[in-house]
Amino acid sequence: MSRKRFPCGHLGKGKYCHACRAAEIAAEKAAESKATDKKKKALSEAASRLRAMGVTGYEGKPAGVVSRAADLAAGVLDGRMFGELRARRLVDKRHVVAIPVGRNHRLLCIDAGDAILPKELLTHEAYNGRIYQY
């Protein structure tokens, strides 16, 4: 099979230009790794915000959840708790307050009397088991 000239100007064999395809793949990979870096940066920023607020349990959680939890925890500390954040007190433990973080996670908070403090980010399942420790 002889080499031909593709519309892009490259010489090559086959149905499409392998030089252009390779460049496309490289560009896609570069964009992907840039997006991954951005996500990692956002995740570590949200994690350190939570750490600074004394919240545990963010390790290994999805970036979106950690980031949302950091915003919610900041809202809790700002006193924007009930109504706006859909916070709920436990029926049998009124000092335990839970805020939904997406569908599968909860931000567990403790009512310390003069303030409500965000404590722990949990999956919904872990939350159901953990609340009895508080």
# binding residues, Zn ion (CB under 5 A): 5
4 or 34: CB nearest Zn ion: 4
Among the listed residues 3, 8, 13, 71, the single contact to Zn ion using CB under 5 A: 8
Least spacing, CB of residue 7 vs Zn ion, in Å: 8
Give yes or no for residue 20 binding Zn ion (CB under 5 A): yes
Give yes or no for residue 25 binding Zn ion (CB under 5 A): no
Least spacing, CB of residue 3 vs Zn ion, in Å: 12
20 or 110: CB nearest Zn ion: 20
Give yes or no for residue 10 binding Zn ion (CB under 5 A): yes
Give yes or no for residue 23 binding Zn ion (CB under 5 A): no
Q: 3-class secondary structure for the chain? A: CCCEECCCCCEECCCCCHHHHHHHHHHHHHHHHHHHHHHHHHHHHHHHHHHHCCCECCCCCCHHHHHHHHHHHHHHHCCCCCCCCCCEECCCCCCEEEEEECCCEEEEEEECCCCEEEEEEEEHHHHHHHHHHC
Binding site for Zn ion (CB under 5 A): 8, 10, 17, 19-20
